[in-house]
Amino acid sequence: MLLWHKLSDLVPKNWANHFWGSSKFSNRWQASRCAIDLNRRWIDSVCSGECRARGDDLLIPMEQQCVRMQTDDQLPIGSQQGIRGFASGSCCVLVQRSCSLRLQFSLVTASCFAAFYEEQYERLKAKLRQRAENGAVLTWKLGKNPYFKGASEAALKRLLGVKKHDVVVLPPKVPSAENSNVTLPKNFDARLQWPKCEIIRYIKDQSNCGSCWAVSTASVISDRYCIANQGRAQPFLSEEELVSCCRVCGDGCFGGFPEMALVYWATRGVPTGEPYGFNSSCKPYSIKPCATCPSIAETPKCQHQCVEGYRGKLSTDRYFGKRAYSLSNERQIMEDIYANGPVVAAFTVYDDFYYYTGGVYSHSEWVDPAGRHAVRVIGWGVDEKSKKPYWLVANSWSEEFGENGLFRILRGSNECGIEEEMVAAQPRLPS
């Protein structure tokens, strides 16, 4: 172990500010309790690829410029010549003032970042214990989900891939007099309402790709197609197609727009595509389950034919939607799910959500937002113990998250913004 006073003799005193800022660094460093090993090697930062438009900066992934040693992250130290760096989980990002600039920097190995998920859990648990002593009541269970074991902060945040338009893209659903007269049940579960559509029960795994926007949308349109044809056909429709081929939808594994995925379904059509590991569809998901892999998955290349071995043709394998719309209030959302099936919802994920293991979730006031996520709302209910109303939601983080892949979130108060960003569409059935 290299003591801090020795390390400080070798690097600029304010190097930590290059990464997190003084306050964040201090808290995270003290909490990590990890050893620092100074590698006495010097590396030239060589510009490669195109410069980004913003101030001629260049982002260089760790795999190109840093040496990875087992599970350790190699973090560049800001030098006095002006190079800046910050840690992003398993990736170091170098921001250079000029693409032609070549500077030298040292590396620090910090094993602690691999245990970020577990360490943040201990901090949250201590905070909640303190709140409970002051009379606060938590309506959900805090725990560690196996899906995130050993995850870095970057690995957690890259799962949140919803982008937000500045304006409303989809028109609001026109209120129906027929639906407004329907008596809605206290509890509703699409899996029980349409038992022939077993596809509704399936929980997907988006892996180390920010494709929640595509996975949730593909799941909803698959569910709705089955419901509309009364279970006679229930193909998985392809999130792979949306991630790799829908240019207007966003940036693939780096985020996208659920509403544009619905527009794509209506205009271009979406072929069949099962989850990873299956091979009896046109475009199955190609990203192997690996939520905590060191780096984000590359967006798959758009393929203009079905996978080898599938007998169908892409041109005849497409399914189409129609009438994409947005939903604006609790009652309308419930009516639409009751009549047509699950809907897509986008919401703000807070740091404590990764530790949800049961109950009716509502975010803690003192936690920070981590990003925006898309999910599939399949029903609603009222919790027997807490008497809290909730939405029943299917996530895309495998069955190792929450309540076997599901979670319940507070209903009726726009918790985490979930009730202001729900969208859906109707399928176009063969004539």
Give the model's pLDDT for residue 177. 58
Q: Report which listed range, 24-28, 43-47, 256-260, is most confident.
A: 256-260
- Determine the pLDDT at residue 178: 59
Chain centroid offset of residue 260 CA: 17
Q: Say yes or no: 94 and 155 in one domain.
A: no
Same domain assignment for residues 370 and 225: yes
3-state SS of the chain is CCCHHHHHCCCCCCHHHHCCCHHHHHHHHHHHCCCEEEEEEEEECCCCCCCCCHHHCCCCCHHHHCCCECCEEEEECCCCCCCEEEEECCEEEEECCCCCCCCEEEEEEEHHHHHHHHHHHHHHHHHHHHHHHCCCCCCEEECCCHHHCCCCHHHHHCCCCECCCCCCCCCECCCCHHHHCCCCCCCEEHHHHCCCCHHHHCCCECCCCCCHHHHHHHHHHHHHHHHHCCCCCCCCECHHHHHHHCHHHECHHHCECHHHHHHHHHHCCECECCCCCCCCCCCCCCCCCCCCCCCCCCCCCCCCCCCCCCCCCHHHCCEEEEEEEEECCHHHHHHHHHHHCCEEEEEEEEHHHHHEEEEEECCCCCCCEEEEEEEEEEEEEECCCCCCEEEEEECCECCCCCECCEEEEECCCCHHHHHHCEEEEEEECCC
374 and 242 in a single domain? The answer is: yes
pLDDT of residue 10: 36
**Same domain, yes or no: 35 and 149:** no
pLDDT of residue 44: 30
Same domain, 109 and 147: no
381 shares its domain with 313: yes
Residue whose pair of structure tokens reads 């897509």 in the numeric block:
344
Whether 279 sits among the annotated catalytic residues: the reply is no
- Give the model's confidence band at 279: pLDDT under 50 very low, under 70 low, under 90 confident, else very high: confident
Q: Cβ atoms within 10 A of the Cβ of 68, count? A: 13
Query: Which residue out of 66, 209, 212, 245 is catalytically annotated?
Result: 212
**pLDDT for residue 115:** 80
Work out the average pLDDT over 390-394.
99
Task: Say what the pLDDT of residue 224 is.
Answer: 99
Q: What is the pLDDT of residues 301-312, one digit of tens each?
A: 999 999 999 999
- Better-scored residue on pLDDT, 193 or 41: 193
Give the β-pairing of 406-410 and 356-361: parallel
Nearest 5°: phi and psi at 384? -65, -35
Are both 107 and 188 inside the same structural domain?
no
Q: Looking at the domain assignment, is residue 196 inside a domain?
A: yes
Is 198 inside any structural domain?
Answer: yes
Cβ neighbours for 409, distance < 8 A, ≥ 6 positions apart: 347, 360, 361, 362, 390, 391, 393, 415, 416, 418
Report, as an integer, the average pLDDT of 372-384.
98
Contacts of 379 (CB under 8 A, 6+ apart): 187, 188, 189, 190, 191, 193, 337, 391, 392
Report strand pairing: 369-382 vs 343-350.
Answer: antiparallel
Q: Flag the least confident range among 47-56, 246-255, 395-404.
A: 47-56
Q: Domain limits at 313?
A: 140-428
| 222 confidence band (pLDDT: 50, 70, 90) | very high
pLDDT at 357: 98
Q: Please enumerate in sequence order all residues whose Cβ is within 8 A of that of 162, keeping only pairs 6 or more positions apart, or say none.
A: 212, 213, 255, 256, 257, 258, 346, 371, 372, 373, 374
pLDDT bracket for residue 294 (50, 70, 90) = confident
- Per-residue model confidence (pLDDT) at position 196: 97
Which tokens go with 426?
């109707």
Q: Is residue 174 part of a domain?
A: yes
At residue 132 the predicted structure's pLDDT band, cuts being 50, 70 and 90, is confident
Question: For residue 166, what are the CA distances in angstroms to 163, 210, 326, 410?
Answer: 10, 20, 15, 26
Last residue of a domain, one of 95, 113, 131: 113
- When pLDDT is cut at 50, 70 and 90, the band that residue 116 belongs to is very high
Residue 402, in any domain of the structure: yes
Report CA-CA distances (Å) from 344 to 76, 245, 408. 40, 20, 15
**Which has more confidence, 111 or 326?**
326
In the predicted model, what is the mean pLDDT of the chain? 79
Torsion over CA: 201, 328, 322, 169 (sign):
negative
- Range in 79-93, 242-256, 326-340 the model is least confident about: 79-93
- Could you tell me the two tokens for 58? 């260049």
- Considering the domain architecture, whether residues 389 and 284 belong to the same structural domain is answered as yes
373 an active-site residue? yes
% of the chain surpassing 70 pLDDT: 73
Does position 124 have pLDDT exceeding 60, yes or no?
A: yes
CA-closest candidate to residue 204, choices 157, 159, 149: 159
Q: How many domains does the chain have?
A: 2
Q: Are residues 275 and 409 in the same domain?
A: yes
| 145 included as an active-site residue | no
* CATH code (residue 247): 3.90.70.10
Q: Determine the pLDDT at residue 65.
A: 37
One domain, residues 148 and 264: yes
If asked whether residues 105 and 169 sit together in one domain, one would say no
Angle, CA of 117, 125 and 360, to the nearest 5°: 90
Q: Is residue 57 part of a domain?
A: yes
Average pLDDT over residues 150-166: 92
CA atoms within 13 A on the CB side of 284: 15
Residue 10 located in a structural domain: yes
Highest mean pLDDT among 55-59, 70-74, 411-415: 411-415
Does this model's pTM top 0.85? My answer is no
Q: Which is the catalytic residue, given 92, 209, 373, 416?
A: 373
Number of Cα atoms under 13 Å in the Cβ half of residue 198 = 0
Q: Are residues 198 and 291 in the same domain?
A: yes
Q: Is residue 391 part of a domain?
A: yes
Q: Which tens digits make up the pLDDT trace of 329-353?
A: 999 999 999 999 999 999 999 999 9
Residue 127 falls within a domain, yes or no? Answer: no
Mean pLDDT, residues 294-300: 90
